[in-house]
Structure 1
Amino acid sequence: MAKALLVSPSYFIFFIFLIFSSATVSIFGEEYSYVKSINPKKMNMLKEKVTHFQLYWQDVTSGSNATSVTVLEEVNNSSTLFGSVSIIDNSLTVGPNLSSKTVGKSQGLYASTGIEETSLLMVMNFAFTDGKYNGSTFTVVGRNNANAKVREMPIIGGSGLFRFARGYVLASTYSFSDNGDGTIEYNCYVIHY
């Protein structure tokens, strides 16, 4: 006569749990298969380097060829222009004159965010159109205290030759005219591969 196998209820529950969890993994496991580790060498991420760019940001707000257009006016005639938003497509030049060689564009926006001081939220891509970096961009997003002699803002990413970019920019006013046009010197320190 065959002996009956006696299994305690706790073993039975554990066994059933094991079967269902295995089935769940096989059914739902594929859902997570889109994530995998990649060898950085396969993405040409061999050695980081730091590149310094000295550029002049040409903010032209006047005339028929304006590259900076205010799309929202300031609130209650604010002396700090609080609430105003400008969209930009400013030239990046190698020298301070507007006629200097253009090597790219600064495209994005700036918004006046200070009630008591002239501070701006800057959101812009530095898009290169010349030389080795043609087609590559890096992105600057940060606070710009316009009254400070030197303003620092972070570089938070990039594309093309600036993939995985990080770093910072130092901005200082080179000139500012009565009609609102300005030339800002940008020293950009970009860490990239």
Structure 2
Amino acid sequence: MRSPSRVLPIILVLYFILSMASPSLSCVIPCESEINLRLYLHQIAAGSGTNQVAIVASSQPAGFGTTAVNDWTVIDGSNPGTATIVARTKGMHVQADVGGPGWFNYFSMVFEDARRRGSSFEVMGMNRAQEGEMAIIGGTGEFAMARGTIKYRALANPPPGQSIKELNIHAFYVKPAGTISGPTIQ
């Protein structure tokens, strides 16, 4: 019978040999991948193509309590006229800052492009108009169990009744079963 002090090194050597042969054994916890994306959120509050609607109006100062539903487009460039829709943010935003403006957003960013169709990021956080950061608190499909941040900044001179925000997305997620964790996706 071998002593316990000799068995442990043998087990560790076998584990490392097996982990080199099978990528699925190389991660103690499910392997995470990382993604960095620069996309643009296009809000249209009024006029043709409106993609948000106030469903609860408020008479409070700064519109505190106003609630709106949104289906904002997420595009691959800053010019809505030439960019391609990559995803849509389906959710709601509530004016939740008594001093205003400060909108609390919660939405699913559902991808529509061929590569990620149906996958989503679940997002929530404060939108303070010009720049800020929101949390990615989950995801589905390719982005299962996502966590990360979306830093945003409003672009200058959008068309009247519209807003365009540059989104810098940085997230970690668990690759779906049957895939191998790879390098960062740009």
TM-superposed deviation, 1:177:
4.8
TM-superposed deviation, 1:142:
1.4
Give distance in 1, aligned partners of 2:146 and 2:112: 18
TM-superposed deviation, 1:91:
0.8
Change in 2 beyond 3 A, CA 1:176/1:88: farther
TM-superposed deviation, 1:179:
4.0
Say which of 102, 110, 134 aligns to 2:93.
Answer: 110
Which residue is 1:93 aligned to?
Answer: 75
Unaligned ranges ≥5, structure 1: 1-40
* Residues 70-149 of structure 1 mapped to structure 2, 5 A cutoff: 70-76=54-60, 78=61, 80-99=62-81, 100-146=83-129, 149=130
Greater gyration radius: 1
- TM-score, normalisation: structure 2: 0.72
Runs of 4+, deviation exceeding 6 Å: none
| Aligned residue type for 2:131 | V
TM-superposition CA deviations, 1:83-107 (whole Å, max 9, x none) = 1111111111011112211111111
TM-superposed deviation, 1:182:
0.6
- TM-score, normalisation: structure 1: 0.70
**Corresponding pairs, count:** 148
Give aligned-pair identity as a percent: 24
Unaligned ranges ≥5, structure 2: 1-23, 175-186
CA RMSD of aligned residues (A): 2.1
Contact 2:47 2:161 in 1 (8 A): no
Give distance in 2, aligned partners of 1:104 and 1:175: 22
